Amino acid sequence: MESDVWELLLNSVGPLLMGAVVGTIPLTILSFIFGLAIALVVALGRMSLNKVVSGIAAAYISLIRGTPLLVQLFIIFYALPMLGIVIDPYPSAVIAFSLNVGGYGAEAIRASILAIPVGQWEAARTVGMGYTLTLRRVILPQAMRVAVPPLSNTFISLVKDTSLASSIMVTELLRRAQEIAAPSYQFLALYSLAAVIYWLICSVLSFGQERLERYLSRYVSV
């Protein structure tokens, strides 16, 4: 019996890796890119002097951070069709994960912008740079360097969170493990193999994060 399990695992490595390469990784990258754009807009809105804009941004962050990601995913895929809005599984997952990243990433970006000394703004103003130009050329480049650790952690967490997409029939790593395990009932073996692959992906990303942080630290004045 054990030999059958090992044979099943060996035969399943390829399909599971394919599920990660074709499903999990692209879903993570797309969601993170869109989520980062949302996070930047929300962070700037949160810092706006306009109380309405700031209030809307704060409410969005509170809503995203205060509700489970799985519930957000179910609302987009299962609940919106009741309003006549039908979205396919994969786009639904991208939207849900992007909105979630936007809520968490916004606070990381806002904190990073606030960490830049006020003198940077004043110096830019003295040479005639406006708010938008100062933000684009002076503040954001420095803030994004500060934001690398928390945003990297968000990215790594997103890799694991994409497993929730299997609940709306998106074919990714966990979904592929479920499909392979169903006929054989070897759920423990297949889910454990999927867990190892998730761990390997996150370990590689963590290594890359450490290298990136060391590289960027060379440009920080002390």
DSSP state of 82: G
CATH class of 2-217: mainly alpha
pLDDT in the model for residue 220: 52
Q: Quick check: 129 pLDDT over 90? A: no
In which residue are the tokens 């890119």 written? Answer: 33
Is pTM, for the whole model, over 0.75? yes
pLDDT at 143: 87
140-196 pLDDT, tens per residue? 888 888 888 899 999 999 999 999 999 999 999 999 999 999 888 889 999 999 999
Is residue 214 very low, low, confident or very high in pLDDT (cuts 50, 70, 90)? confident
* DSSP 3-state of 107: helix
Q: Which two tokens stand for residue 2?
A: 């054990």
Name the token pair of 121: 């703004």
More confident residue, 126 or 66: 66
Residue 83 half-sphere exposure, CB side, CA atoms within 13 Å?
Answer: 8
Q: Delimit the domains of the chain by residue range.
A: 2-217
At 28-58, the pLDDT tens digits run 999 999 999 999 999 999 999 899 999 999 9
